[in-house]
Amino acid sequence: MMNTIFAIRALLLMALRYTIYLPFLAFYCFIVGPVVGGVLLVGGVSFLSFILGPKTAWKEFKKAYGELDQSHIVMRHS
């Protein structure tokens, strides 16, 4: 009788753990994760801009992402 109660208790606890864990995992992966990533990205870029100064930061930003000049891109059709 006691073994049956412990087995049922273990089964219920396992089911409860998964019903609580999986929604929080999905919530973090699809909602919280991208929001935190965006905040950290913007914060990191602004912190580097603060360290470098606005002129140097803007120059480095343009060098990294650049003004995409479309004239140097060659399209090849096979």
Instruction: Report pLDDT for 68.
Output: 56
For 6-29, what is each residue's pLDDT tens digit?
999 999 998 888 888 888 888 888
Residue-range definition of the domain harbouring residue 45: 2-72
Tell whether 77 is covered by a domain. Answer: no
Tell whether 78 is covered by a domain. Answer: no
Is there a contact between 49 and 57 (Cβ–Cβ < 8 Å)? yes
Total of domains in the chain: 1
What is the C-alpha separation between 6 and 40, in angstroms, rounded?
46
Tell whether 61 is covered by a domain. Answer: yes
For 19-72, what is each residue's pLDDT tens digit?
888 888 888 888 888 899 888 888 888 888 888 888 888 887 788 777 655 555
pTM attached to this predicted model:
0.46
Name, in order, each residue with C-beta under 8 angstroms of 57's C-beta and a sequence gap of 6 or more. Answer: 48, 49
Each residue of 12-35: b (16+ CB within 10 Å) or e? eeeeeeeeeeeeeeeeeeeeeeee
